[in-house]
Amino acid sequence: MLQVTDLHASVVDADEEILKGLSLSIGAGEVHAIMGPNGSGKSTFANVLLGRPDYVVNSGVVTFEDEDILELFPDQRALRGMFLAFQYPAEIPGVRPWQFLKAALDARREYAGEKPLSVRDFSKLFDDKVEAVGIDPDLVKRSLNEGFSGGEKKRNEMLQLEMLEPRLAILDETDSGLDVDALRIVAEGVNSLRSPDRSFLIVTHYQRLLNYIKPDVVHILVDGRIVETGGPELAMTVENSGYEQYIKAAVAD
């Protein structure tokens, strides 16, 4: 589903590269986790995949469902089924989550050649999902993310994930700042959406989210490269012995 080959990227107008030849491959229905120390390029990678304009890709290839996506705008990538759950979702005054999600879902349905949902059907779906992810219904009547607590913002990201049902969901440190209850809701959301034709890329610093979501593959990212790939047991290794050994090995390179 997602194929990344030798990806090099840096911040716009900066010389130093953050991603220095990252390669990985995610098959349909797989759940991958990317773990790594602070500053290893985890968030950069997640954002580059959706085409955030703050970053520039210097070289490498990224294909999604066999299509080269690096020339596509973020909205074009989203319409093809990619989704990013943000670490720091933007606050947008005066735009209600309902209105925003209706527009997003309509755009996606139109791209897929489907009719937009009626207001009534959409509202029902929306209300059900709001309840499922445990967002205070009063909150979604306010402005998008404005005045939301950290946990509320993350739940709102999960609400969007459940509503939009992407083919590939990238979760950028969705677990940071969450208490155990919220963590469980995120995990339940992901687990319930797992299916043979939907893949996940979970970016995280800690192993604890992986107690709830069992990944098929774990990658260790250090200094802009994948330095180790393994099964779920790799996350436990990191949990027990930290990233030191990988960092040392990377420096020794």
Partner 1 sequence: MVTPNSISRESDLSGGEYKWGFVTEVEQDFAPKGLSEDIVRLISAKKDEPEWLLEWRLKAYHHWVKMAKEQGEPEWAKIRYPQIDYNDIYYYAAPKSSTEAPKSLADVDPEMLATFEKLGIPLQEREKLAGVAIDAVFDSVSVATTYTEQLEKLGIIFCSFSEAVKNHPNLIKKYLGSVVPYSDNFFATLNSAVFSDGSFAYIPPGVRCPIELMTYFRMNAEGTGQFERTLIVADKGAYVSYLEGCTAPFRKTSQLHAAVVELVTLDDAEIKYSTIQNWFPGSKEGEGGVYNFVTKRGICRGVNSKISWTQVETGSAITWKYPSVILQGDNSTGEFYSVALANNHQQADTGTKMIHIGKNTKSTIVAKGISAGQGQNTYRGQVKIMPSAENAVNHTQCDSLLVGDQCGAHTVPYIEVRNPTARLEHEASTSKVSDDQLFYLRSRGISEEEAHHMIITGWSREVIKELPFEFAMEAGQLLKVSLEGAVG
Residues that bind partner 1 (CB under 8 A): 50-54, 73-75, 77-79, 83-84, 86, 89-95, 99-104, 106-108, 110-111, 116, 143-144, 160, 164
Burial code (b: 16+ CB inside 10 Å, e: under 16) for 186-198 equals bbbbbeeeeeeeb
Residue 102 Cβ vs partner 1, minimum distance, rounded to whole Å: 7
Residues whose CB is less than 8 angstroms from the CB of residue 99 and which lie 6 or more positions away in sequence, other chains included = none
192 within 8 A of 107, measured Cβ to Cβ: no
Closest by Cα among 15, 85, 82 to 49: 82
Query: How far, in Å, CA of 66 to CA of 121, rounded?
Result: 33
- DSSP string computed for 167-211: SEEEEESTTTT--HHHHHHHHHHHHHH-BTTBEEEEEESSSGGGG
145 within 8 A of 92, measured Cβ to Cβ: yes
**Half-sphere exposure (Cβ direction) of 93: Cα atoms closer than 13 Å:** 0
Residue 187 Cβ vs partner 1, minimum distance, rounded to whole Å: 22
* Strand segments (E) across 110-187: 168-172
Residue 241 Cβ vs partner 1, minimum distance, rounded to whole Å: 35
Closest by Cα among 95, 98, 133, 135 to 117: 98
Return the residue matching tokens 């967002």: 135
